[in-house]
Structure 1
């Protein structure tokens, strides 16, 4: 059967001497695997549309198993996400989350639209950490593991302060903290953002200024939910963490110079 479907390339793997196997996240057919013959060759008509993160219209034939790409038209190449190392790391993480965290029947139009909006946000210069944190929440929601953040999951109390129990699946009020000694403390700002992430569609994300400490709390909470409930081992996440450490080390001398300057005033 011949298919004509909009999709985003979330994985591109070399196959044989000149071919690539593409994994697409599509708007109507979930995740789809297709062979792009000759796509490794620079002059191939499929070489551009087979690039990671490319959003396009794909025409392919499939009876069972992998399809075969007949034609494709690029709608948005997202070339900036491939050219910038930091953006490539964040985009790769978002793409691998879709590939590894979701079953085919979970990868519907909603998450397709969220990934497209995530890539657009990264390409437009929105804070990459916040953008990917919001996308992580959309993945948790789709997979059925999003935290309950509005009431205490133990007693239903709506009053703060709260901690977040990953094991229990959401917030615990002060009276219930003892039920989980490993519950994570969160500031009011971090909790407010997590609640916003539960309600906010990626397509409505604007520019948000978030402190370094709040970002650390968001990362700790969301990573803990993934590690506890989904147990993923993502190469892109390991690389992203390595890149973060390198950037922090590079920024350290600048922070020291600023400190010396401030002390000398």
Structure 2
């Protein structure tokens, strides 16, 4: 059967001599694997269609599920500027790998596609990559069913002033100081960072405007979201390790 989808390349791997298998995050058909014959050969007409971050229309044959075989395709947005920039490419790769690990094959709904598309667009436009990725991580946590509870104490349920709240990645939300015994390693959080974390929870990436967050707050947000991602999803991603190396050498 012939299928036509709009999708973003989130993974590309060599297969055999000159072929490639791409994984697409699609708007209406979830995550799909497609074999692209001859894509790695010189002057292949499909070479551009297998590049990471590429948004395109893909037409492929597939019978009874499983791997499809590309018939034709057309690029909508190559996101070439992301691939040309080391920092942007690193964050884009992390977003794609994270989505690839969390999204199940053919899981329906356009939410994942819209969030990834908005994330890549924001990176290409030069918005602060760390903040973009933190917001993307929040959307991933929420869509996977692990969105943090941020408006009241997750232990006692009472609403408290912001300066009375801690963050507990293990329990999945804010924790008042009276309930700290439920999670002694709970994190201190500044009012500014807590406000932004709540904004991330409420804001859709497609509505992200200009981002202006001072460096100390960005560092705090990065630590908070990393702690939530590790505690709730526990993924070990190659792209995350590369981002850690960039941080180590202040690139």
Normalising by structure 2, report the TM-score: 0.95
The separation in 2 between residues aligned to 1:83 and 1:100, in whole angstroms, is: 25
Once superposed, which parts of structure 1, at least 4 consecutive aligned residues long, lie more than 6 Å away?
none
1:217 to partner: Cα distance: 1.9
Structure 2 counterpart of 1:25: 25
1:122 to partner: Cα distance: 0.2
Report matched runs for 1:186-225 at 5 Å: 186-225=189-228
Report matched runs for 1:92-171 at 5 Å: 92-104=93-105, 106=107, 108-160=109-161, 161=163, 162-171=165-174
The separation in 2 between residues aligned to 1:180 and 1:107, in whole angstroms, is: 36
CA contact (8 A) 1:21 1:33 kept: yes
3-state SS of paired residue (1:189): helix
CA contact (8 A) 1:106 1:143 kept: no
The separation in 1 between residues aligned to 2:54 and 2:108, in whole angstroms, is: 17
The separation in 1 between residues aligned to 2:217 and 2:104, in whole angstroms, is: 31
Structure 2 counterpart of 1:238: 241
3-state SS of paired residue (1:42): coil
1:147 to partner: Cα distance: 0.6
Deviations 1:26-53 (A, max 9, x none): 0011000000111112311110111000
The separation in 1 between residues aligned to 2:36 and 2:175, in whole angstroms, is: 50
The separation in 2 between residues aligned to 1:58 and 1:123, in whole angstroms, is: 22
Structure 2 counterpart of 1:57: 57
Q: Which moved more, 1:236-245 or 1:152-161?
A: 152-161
The separation in 2 between residues aligned to 1:138 and 1:126, in whole angstroms, is: 18
| Higher Cα radius of gyration | 1
The separation in 2 between residues aligned to 1:153 and 1:120, in whole angstroms, is: 35
Normalising by structure 1, report the TM-score: 0.90
Structure 1 counterpart of 2:183: 180
1:90 to partner: Cα distance: 0.4
1:196 to partner: Cα distance: 0.3
The separation in 2 between residues aligned to 1:106 and 1:136, in whole angstroms, is: 18
Structure 1 counterpart of 2:78: 77
Structure 2's unaligned 5+ residue stretches are none
CA contact (8 A) 2:166 2:176 kept: yes
Q: Which moved more, 1:224-233 or 1:135-144?
A: 224-233
1:108 to partner: Cα distance: 2.9
Structure 2 counterpart of 1:68: 69
Q: Which moved more, 1:222-231 or 1:26-35?
A: 222-231
CA-based RMSD: 1.2
Deviations 1:78-99 (A, max 9, x none): 0011011111000000000010
1:231 to partner: Cα distance: 1.5
| Cα distance change, pair 114–167 in 1 and its aligned pair in 2 (3 A) | same
CA contact (8 A) 2:29 2:107 kept: no
Structure 1's unaligned 5+ residue stretches are 249-265
